[in-house]
């Protein structure tokens, strides 16, 4: 009679998380092979909220097509609008009044701050620090309130029009934005005192999810994620648009950091501060004049041609390639979204990290799944 | 039964008005049920409410304010909601056994819970060590529950809970022994009586080494019990709450109440070991003895101790709200590399201090 020897299973464990999971910033899937608590291999799966957004642009007249741009990334809605508006305006040769340009920058920078505050909240949630989560969302509410007053919406702003914006800034709006800037300066100090250099947070963020300069180049990471690794890149400086060339601000780079989670956290805190400075400059120098160069009802019929526009969204460089064949609607609209590169780099930076660091690393990359799937 | 045990049984018979012929075992069961229903369960609701209110204030929120005046009935509403939920019928036999077993084992420690000089049901040389058994039971039960769940969150949650309990046990025991050295005994009554009612007469200020022991004991308790911010085993972010991710309704209520009880147990013990226990100021005690029955003194003692316990629990939960959750490998590192040496050094220091104090006739 033979006996069966017991064998110990030493294979890697498989865990597929998503499309819905607390650690994920949006619906996508991570297929993980785990060696104990350590992630050995990651495969990403995207496309769960594909909405045929790029195709949708081809089905609508030029001026209506623009309203779909804020669906690209609902949290940073005005950046999609900015990219598509600039692209159509370039193809159709529509001039934008200087006041409209300033209002666009104003909305963009406010949106950048609100998006980064959302990042702080997600980051705090990922490491389990409830208090910063509530503080960041409390302060974001103030900005969303201003959006609601100005545009009627809190997230899908739909405020940009061909040749300007929907409406002029309302009475007292600029003063209230200045108030918010002042409050944010105080809040940032509060965040720093409470959280940024908290020993427990440093233990959770220093040396975790490190992205090297080589990886940044290989995967085409842009925006805060690239700047956190010491890579000086900012579309607002290198290819200024909508009057950014008139504003005085440096490209923020986290030179001391090594591209880890903590550097990515700090660079966004500094960017909030920088955006408040830009907002103040814009408000001080906002020119008079019209906020729209042509009526919205005027049909647009551009000549055949194409344009490629880059804007600096809170997640990185957002590119919009637009083709006109002379018809009454776009022939092709295509986006280059910053979060795509961050998704692509995931398998590399997750390899060897612990399961408990997964939510922290994902939050630190500030992924916008809506723009990845689009 | 020890003479002390007879003592409490007779007193309790008088208080509840039970006939004399009832055996001690029946009295013990009655008293245990009373303590459980009148102290343990309501304390869960009270601490839950207070921690949520204080935490909300800290986070610029309102907190519970809808159910009952000032939201006071919120914990009961939560409990009723949990009890109404449909129970997941997929819970296997193993899980039922582990959940039931570890809950029963846990609550058996109500018998050694020091809640006042009258509420010491079992007061022996081993009493102070029995709660450790409870804490290891809660960790062991959580681990086996997690391992029998056949899911990654359960496995990770269970193993993290067990590894933390193992790492936290040594510093906790070392700190407890240091208290025994100070008090000269491990009877709850002796430990409490070795301290005074005034803050400076508390055990934690007895010698320069006691604060270290206090810190190690409190921190290692949080590690052993897996209480926030040391709750990697129940992390929602990566493993959806670990072991509790597969529990629903009544099971979840049972599991959460068990964890609350673990926290309550540890905070009570910490208060008795280091924060003066149930000692009432002499003047108050004299007045109470003169003007009221002995029962009133016991009540004042228990209320004083519960206030200290709640204060400690709320302090810890406020800390947990501002501190990020610490990774479980970092927690075990902290336990083995920081808390263990510190508590052993404090134990050695306390022993030397006690030796010198005895040699010099009471002064160091």
Provide CB contacts within 8 A for B214, sequence distance 6+. B175, B203, B204, B270, B273, B274
Contact B325 A129 (CB under 8 A): yes
Say if B81 is an interface residue toward chain A (CB within 8 Å): no
The H-or-E segment that residue A340 falls in is helix A338-350
What's the CA gap between B268 and A101, in Å, rounded? 64
Query: Could you tell me if residue B39 is inside a domain?
Result: no
| Closest residue of chain B to A18, computed from CA coordinates | B238
Q: What is the per-residue pLDDT across A145-186, written as a single tens digit (0 to 9) for each?
A: 999 988 888 888 889 988 889 888 877 889 999 999 999 999
pLDDT at A168: 87
Q: Per-residue pLDDT for B3 more than 60?
A: no
Coil, strand, or helix at residue A44?
strand
* Closest CA–CA distance from residue A258 to any residue of chain B (Å): 21
| Closest residue of chain A to B328, computed from CA coordinates | A356
Query: Could you tell me if residue B255 is inside a domain?
Result: yes
By the 10 Å C-beta count (0-12 exposed, 13-18 middle, 19+ buried), B8 is classed as buried
By the 10 Å C-beta count (0-12 exposed, 13-18 middle, 19+ buried), A46 is classed as buried
By the 10 Å C-beta count (0-12 exposed, 13-18 middle, 19+ buried), A237 is classed as middle
Provide CB contacts within 8 A for B362, sequence distance 6+. none
The H-or-E segment that residue A184 falls in is helix A173-191
Q: What is the per-residue pLDDT across B125-170, written as a single tens digit (0 to 9) for each?
A: 887 887 777 778 778 888 888 888 778 888 888 888 889 988 998 9
- Residues of B within 8 A of A125 (CB-CB) are 237
Q: Per-residue pLDDT for B92 more than 80?
A: no
> Domain span at residue B248?
86-359
Q: Per-residue pLDDT for B338 more than 90?
A: yes
pLDDT at B2: 47
Contact B322 A21 (CB under 8 A): no
What's the CA gap between B249 and B149, in Å, rounded? 17
Q: Which two tokens stand for residue B153?
A: 């969150």
Contact B234, B149 (CB under 8 A): no
- B194-225 b/e (C-beta count within 10 Å ≥ 16 → b): bbbbeeeebbbbbbebbebbbbbbbbbbbbbb
Query: Which comes out higher in pLDDT, residue A121 or B44?
Result: A121
Coil, strand, or helix at residue A334?
strand
Q: How does residue A362 score in pLDDT terms, banded at 50, 70 and 90?
A: very high
Query: Could you tell me if residue B261 is inside a domain?
Result: yes
Q: Identify the contact set of chain A against chain B, taking CB-CB distances under 8 A.
A: 13, 15, 21-23, 34, 37, 124-131, 134-135, 138, 194-195, 198, 200-201, 203-204, 354-359
Q: What is the per-residue pLDDT across A62-119, written as a single tens digit (0 to 9) for each?
A: 888 888 988 898 899 999 999 999 999 889 888 889 899 999 999 999 999 999 999 9
User: Cβ atoms within 10 A of the Cβ of A363, count?
Assistant: 26
Strands A316-324 and A164-165: unpaired
* Closest CA–CA distance from residue A296 to any residue of chain B (Å): 43
Q: Per-residue pLDDT for B1 more than 50?
A: no
Query: Could you tell me if residue B74 is inside a domain?
Result: no
| Closest residue of chain A to B318, computed from CA coordinates | A131
pLDDT at B10: 73
User: Cβ atoms within 10 A of the Cβ of A62, count?
Assistant: 23
- Residues of B within 8 A of A15 (CB-CB) are 152
Nearest to B324 among A13, A22, A201 (CB): A201
Domain count, chain B: 1
Query: Could you tell me if residue B141 is inside a domain?
Result: yes
Report the DSSP beta bridge partners of residue A309.
A320
- Residues of A within 8 A of B327 (CB-CB) are 203-204, 354, 356-357
- Residues of A within 8 A of B59 (CB-CB) are 130-131, 134-135
Closest C-alpha among A5, A94, A119, A114 to residue A360: A119
pLDDT at A172: 86
Reading across the β-sheet that carries A13-17, which strands appear in turn?
A13-17, A29-35, A38-45
Q: How does residue A120 score in pLDDT terms, banded at 50, 70 and 90?
A: very high
Mean pLDDT of chain B: 82
Q: Which two tokens stand for residue B232?
A: 């990697």
Report the DSSP beta bridge partners of residue B243.
none
By the 10 Å C-beta count (0-12 exposed, 13-18 middle, 19+ buried), B238 is classed as buried
Query: Could you tell me if residue B24 is inside a domain?
Result: no
Query: Could you tell me if residue B4 is inside a domain?
Result: no
Contact B237 A359 (CB under 8 A): yes
Contact A358 B238 (CB under 8 A): yes
Q: Per-residue pLDDT for B49 more than 60?
A: yes
| Closest residue of chain B to A32, computed from CA coordinates | B152
Average confidence (pLDDT) over B292-307 = 80
Q: How does residue B90 score in pLDDT terms, banded at 50, 70 and 90?
A: low
pLDDT at A31: 92
Set out the domains of chain A in order of their start, with CATH numbers. 49-373 (1.10.645.10)
- Residues of A within 8 A of B61 (CB-CB) are 134
| Closest residue of chain B to A16, computed from CA coordinates | B152
Query: Could you tell me if residue B150 is inside a domain?
Result: yes
């Amino acid at each position: 009679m033979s006996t069966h020897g017991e064998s110990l299973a030493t294979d890697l464990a498989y865990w597929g998380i998503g499309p819905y999971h607390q650690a994920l910033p949006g619906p996508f899937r991570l297929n993980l092979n785990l060696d104990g608590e350590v992630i050995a291999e990651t495969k990403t799966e995207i496309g769960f909220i594909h909405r045929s957004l790029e195709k949708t642009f081809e089905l609508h007249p030029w001026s209506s097509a623009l309203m779909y741009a804020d669906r690209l990334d609902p949290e940073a809605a005005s950046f999609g609008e900015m990219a598509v508006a600039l692209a159509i305006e370039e193809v159709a040769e529509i001039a934008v009044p200087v006041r409209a340009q300033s209002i666009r920058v104003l909305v963009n920078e406010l949106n950048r701050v609100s998006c980064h505050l959302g990042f702080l909240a997600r980051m705090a949630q990922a490491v389990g620090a409830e208090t910063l989560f509530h503080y960041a969302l409390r302060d974001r509410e103030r900005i969303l309130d201003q959006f609601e007053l100005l545009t009627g919406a809190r997230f899908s702003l739909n405020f940009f029009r061909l040749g300007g914006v929907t409406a002029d800034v309302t009475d007292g709006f600029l003063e209230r934005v200045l108030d918010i800037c002042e409050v944010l300066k105080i809040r940032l100090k509060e965040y720093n005192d409470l959280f940024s250099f908290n020993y427990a947070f440093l233990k959770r963020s220093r040396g975790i999810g490190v992205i090297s300069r080589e990886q940044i180049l290989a995967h085409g990471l842009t925006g805060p994620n690239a700047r956190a690794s010491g890579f000086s890149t900012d579309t607002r400086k290198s290819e200024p648009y909508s009057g950014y060339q008139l504003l005085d601000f440096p490209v923020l780079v986290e030179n001391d950091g090594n591209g880890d989670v903590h550097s990515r956290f700090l660079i966004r805190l500094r960017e909030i501060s920088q955006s408040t400075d830009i907002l103040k400059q814009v408000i001080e120098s906002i020119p008079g004049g019209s906020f729209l160069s042509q009526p919205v009802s005027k049909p647009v019929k551009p000549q055949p041609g194409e344009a490629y526009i880059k804007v600096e969204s809170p997640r990185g460089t957002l590119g919009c390639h637009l083709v006109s064949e002379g018809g009454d609607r776009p022939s092709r609209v295509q986006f280059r979204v910053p979060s795509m590169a961050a998704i692509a780099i995931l398998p590399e930076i997750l390899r060897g990290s612990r399961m408990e660091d997964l939510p922290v690393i994902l939050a630190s990359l500030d992924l916008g799944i809506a723009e990845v799937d689009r | 039964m020890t003479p002390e045990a007879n003592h409490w049984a007779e007193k309790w018979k008088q208080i509840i008005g039970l006939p004399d012929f009832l055996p001690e075992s029946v009295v013990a069961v009655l008293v245990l049920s009373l303590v459980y229903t009148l102290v343990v369960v309501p304390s869960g609701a009270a601490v839950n409410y207070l921690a949520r209110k204080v935490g909300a204030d800290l986070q610029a929120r309102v907190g519970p304010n809808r159910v009952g005046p000032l939201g006071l009935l919120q914990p009961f509403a939560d409990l009723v909601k949990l009890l109404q939920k449909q129970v997941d019928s997929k819970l296997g036999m193993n899980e039922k056994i582990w959940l039931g077993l570890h809950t029963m084992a846990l609550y058996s420690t109500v018998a050694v819970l020091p809640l006042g000089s009258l509420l010491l049901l079992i007061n022996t040389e081993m009493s102070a060590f029995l709660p450790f058994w409870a804490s290891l039971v809660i960790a062991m039960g959580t681990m086996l529950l997690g391992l029998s769940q056949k899911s990654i969150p359960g496995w990770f949650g269970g193993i993290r809970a067990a590894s933390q309990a193992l790492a936290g046990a040594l510093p906790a025991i070392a700190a407890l022994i240091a208290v025994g050295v100070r008090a000269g005994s491990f009877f709850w009554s002796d430990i409490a009586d070795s301290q005074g009612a005034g803050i400076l007469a508390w055990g934690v200020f007895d010698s320069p080494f006691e604060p270290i022991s206090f810190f190690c004991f409190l921190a290692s308790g949080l590690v052993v019990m897996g209480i926030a911010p040391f709750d990697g085993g129940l992390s929602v972010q990566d493993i959806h709450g670990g072991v509790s991710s597969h529990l629903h309704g009544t099971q979840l209520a049972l599991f959460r109440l068990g964890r609350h009880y673990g926290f309550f147990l540890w905070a009570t013990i910490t208060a008795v070991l280091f924060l003066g226990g149930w000692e009432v100021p002499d003047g108050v005690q004299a007045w109470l003895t003169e003007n009221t029955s002995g029962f009133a003194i016991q009540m004042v003692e228990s209320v004083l101790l519960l206030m200290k316990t709640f204060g400690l629990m709320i302090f810890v939960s406020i800390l947990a709200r501002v501190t990020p959750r610490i990774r479980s490998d970092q927690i075990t590192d902290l336990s083995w590399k920081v808390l263990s040496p510190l508590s052993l050094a404090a134990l050695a220091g306390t022993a030397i201090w006690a030796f010198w104090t005895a040699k010099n006739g009471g002064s160091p």
